[in-house]
A and B are shown apart, each in its own frame.
Chain A
Amino acid sequence: DAKTTQPPSMDCAEGRAANLPCNHSTISGNEYVYWYRQIHSQGPQYIIHGLKNNETNEMASLIITEDRKSSTLILPHATLRDTAVYYCIVRVEGGNQFYFGTGTSLTVIP
């Protein structure tokens, strides 16, 4: 079962930062937070993951709160191609299964 909750939808103006929140209040100490996105009719695309420190890569930044009960994915300059469903997933280190929640449908508006 998914252990995360996300808002069902969000809008963001093109060129602005998109901040996508995720609650994972029951996360355990050895569980990582992963973010994926899915563009219509494609497989999910990996974005970023982290344990407790903030992470940044060429796609996005991941901010994890100190108590690790929530996190925020930041797309610094949203483009129209960032319109997708974004999924936040928690997984035990070394554990296999990824269970998807309902995700957030992000629409980037011109």
Chain B
Amino acid sequence: GAVVSQHPSRVICKSGTSVKIECRSLDFQATTMFWYRQFPKQSLMLMATSNEGSKATYEQGVEKDKFLINHASLTLSTLTVTSAHPEDSSFYICSARGGGRSNSPLHFGNGTRLTVT
């Protein structure tokens, strides 16, 4: 089945620094990937849609200058949290749709736990 790999699984950084998270589709090509954020005891919240070769589309309320998304190839999307602050500490999860059908399900990475100190 479709596999999405996310790296790193955990990262701790100091306030004011930037952190990059990678999302790879291992056995399929993904023209579109999705980034979610999840706070403790809450559901997943869609942050942005990453489009290969073009600009990402951000959900309302998500700062595009703070959460930089790059989707330079059909198998890799990156999310960079710039000038991270403690309130950015969260669980970040990426996903991509495997399979060629329009109703194919999304497959998710195992998430990145970001802690900003």
Contact = CB atoms under 8 A, between A and B. Distances in A.
Interface stretch (A9-17, A36-44, A64-72, A74-82): A36-44
B43 A97 contact: no
Interface residues of A, number: 24
B6 interface: yes
B105 interface: yes
16 contacts: A2-B43, A32-B103, A41-B91, A41-B113, A43-B93, A44-B95, A46-B106, A46-B108, A49-B103, A93-B102, A96-B49, A97-B34, A97-B49, A98-B34, A99-B46, A100-B46
Report the interface size class on chain B.
Answer: 20 to 34
Contacts, number: 57
Given A41-B91, A42-B110, A44-B108, A51 B103 contact: yes
Contacts of B49: 96-97
B81 to A, nearest CB: 18
Interface in B38-72: 43-46, 49
Interface of A: 2, 32, 34, 36, 38, 41-46, 49, 51, 87, 93-94, 96-103
B103 A43 contact: no
